[in-house]
Amino acid sequence: MTKKSLLLTGINGTVAYAMKKELAGTYDVSGLSVVRMDDVIGELDNPTWKDQLDAYRDRVIDQFTTAFRGKEAVVHLGWNTRDEHHRAGLDPLNILVVDCVYQAAIAENVSRLYMASSVHAYDFLEVQRHNGDPIKPFPDTRQDDFGVATTSLYGVSKRWMEIAGQYYAERLSPSQKILLVRLGAVGREEEPEKDWARLWQSHGDLAGLLSAFIECDADAPNYWVAFGVSDNIGTEHPRPMFDAVNPYGFTPTDNAYVELEGLV
């Protein structure tokens, strides 16, 4: 039987590494690195900022349109994390690239579009400190989407990705669906780090949610936001920080505290 085709942007990153490792036997997995602005600028003669931006958008759209053609699922992971991450920085080109992903995926009728958001899209630190109720995702994100701050400008960019997804969901064909995943802590190795144990997502749970989305029934929602975390509960944390509910029948099974402390 022919495998479904899955394309990963940001193919050289940690999350793409884990997905490819887990799913290469199930899907026909390919990937790409997003074209860099530096490569485009070098081809222009005395460009204005608008010339640069327009040329870059055209190049990215062309790259994605060609790469997405015939793909049944696309996972967007590509991000300039050197200049924008949860500690500092803001790169507006990350937002431009997100828009290009949505446009190209819709134009090429990609059935399943997985967008890598982040737990940093909403400030989870209060829950982390006080063992509060698990944070619920869309459509009930702690009652007031705009009343909850992000942790950083990086989180602002990721929330923009989610809002843009709601906009583009209205423009999907009947066969297309968008999933925004607020990824937690995914490492290249399987072992969780103690400082980020409550945010940890195992490679198995990462791939499990993606596969459940790719294989979901036609009557599943055409837009959803889910938390990409494992079932991390331990002696000091009897409840998970995030509610991993989703409409695809997937339940995370791994637990960072089992790995760290041998807890059951």
Sheet of 112-118: strand order equals 28-32, 5-9, 73-76, 112-118, 177-183, 223-228
What pLDDT does 135 receive?
A: 84
Kindly report the CATH number assigned to the domain that includes residue 106.
3.40.50.720
Which regions of the chain are under pLDDT 50?
140, 263-264
What pLDDT does 257 receive?
A: 92
Q: Closest Cα partner for 87 from 158, 150, 154?
A: 154
Q: Closest Cα partner for 259 from 184, 182, 206, 196?
A: 196
Question: Domain residues for 195?
Answer: 5-261
What pLDDT does 145 receive?
A: 58
261 by DSSP, 3-state: which? helix
> What residues have CB less than 8 Å from 164, skipping those under 6 apart?
98, 99, 102
What pLDDT does 264 receive?
A: 44
75 by DSSP, 3-state: which? strand
- The helix/strand count (H/E) of the chain reads as 8, 6
Quote the pTM value.
0.94
What pLDDT does 259 receive?
A: 76
Q: Closest Cα partner for 243 from 64, 122, 103, 152?
A: 122
Copy the structure tokens of residue 241. 């920080």
Residue 173 vs residues 106, 109, 170, 201, 218: alpha-carbon distances, Å = 8, 7, 9, 31, 12
Domains identified in the chain, total number: 1
Q: What is the dihedral of CA 171, 175, 181, 186, to 10 degrees?
A: -140
